Amino acid sequence: MVELTDLNGFEPVNNWAKIPHPLKFIEATSVAVDSVNNVYVFNRGINPIMIFNKDGDFIDTWGEGKFTRPHSIFIDDEDFLYLVDDGGHCVYKMTSNGDLIFTLGIPGNPSPWQEGGMFNRPTDLAIDSDKNLYVSDGYGNSRIHKFDNFGNHVLSWGESGSDPGQFSLPHNITFHEEGFLVVCDRENFRVQFFDTNGSFVRQIHFHRPQAICSGKGVFSGKLIISEAGSPSLNQSNVPNLGNLIKIIDFDGKEICRFGNSLGGELPDQFISPHGITQDNDGNIYVAEVSYTAYGSKLNPPQEVVSLRKWKPKYH
């Protein structure tokens, strides 16, 4: 059994994904796992969806030409995919084979910037125990939108700012089993908790919390959070400022962490951990981007070590 007080309870699995030539990841923005531990990677290359089994063997790819700017992927308990296209200002619900079920938003038609409509560069999606959908919105908005299981709008909340219930880039979200939506309010350096009606509950400080998921198995009830590095050039390559994965309990107590104190491309380092998930065996998958790693256009999109797998040090 895992020792939950071990601050280094995970180890990297090098070169896990076996990508057949000439396929490659370009900016792997997000990752999700289905009911049989197949791993789906959403990336910004010409093959936006790549699917692997739990051993990293390649299964399939699809989605060429379907998305403007992939940002996030979520898989529900029926193995339906929700694909958040921030450049297309919409969210697609699809089957695992890529068949479209419905679309939230109008592709290519953003709502007015920072006016609260649906959507302006949405970022993520989560589902509660009643199958309601929540969408964080996003780069061009400061809002959370709630929908029913059929995609009908229920309510929205949030505005720009740093007070409780306000947002500065709601970047990634998850639904906690205690009944709360948890939001990575990235540029406010905090995670906020809300009830299902959008009422603020509490907040916890982190260094640019960028990605979040709810734990499984022995980590059930825990939150797995990635911290991004500093957006400031004069604070880049400073130790202990992000580029870490932290696992916390519901009250915010840190249980374990992993990742080097400095960002980079070594096996134990992160560039910019942008999406995160955990499979049924306890493995944690981290999807990374490079373009926003240092907050500068001096670092253009490139092929990097875009998907990392970390396995628990227990059996």
Residue 3, in any domain of the structure = no
Output the domain CATH number for residue 262. Answer: 2.120.10.30
- The whole-number pLDDT of residue 286 equals 97
Residue 2, in any domain of the structure = no
From residue 22, give the alpha-carbon distance in Å to each of 33, 40, 97, 217: 24, 18, 21, 36
Could you tell me the residue range of the domain that residue 289 belongs to? 10-312
Output the six-digit token pair for 213. 């998921």
Residue 277, in any domain of the structure = yes
pTM of the predicted structure, to 2 decimals: 0.93
- The whole-number pLDDT of residue 87 equals 97
With a cut of 70, list the residues of the chain below it in pLDDT: 1-8, 291-305, 314-315
Residue 5, in any domain of the structure = no
From residue 225, give the alpha-carbon distance in Å to each of 124, 248, 278, 288: 14, 8, 11, 14
Residue 85, in any domain of the structure = yes
Residue 130, in any domain of the structure = yes
Residue 192, in any domain of the structure = yes
DSSP state of 220: T
Residue whose C-alpha is closest to residue 277's, from 217, 214, 206: 214
**Torsion angle defined by CA atoms of residues 74, 77, 81 and 82, in that order, rounded to the nearest 10 degrees:** -50
Q: What percent of the chain has pLDDT over 70?
A: 92
Residue 285, in any domain of the structure = yes
Q: What are phi and psi for residue 164, nearest 5 degrees? A: -55, 130
- Count how many domains the chain has: 1
Q: Using only the alpha carbons of the chain, give its radius of gyration.
A: 18
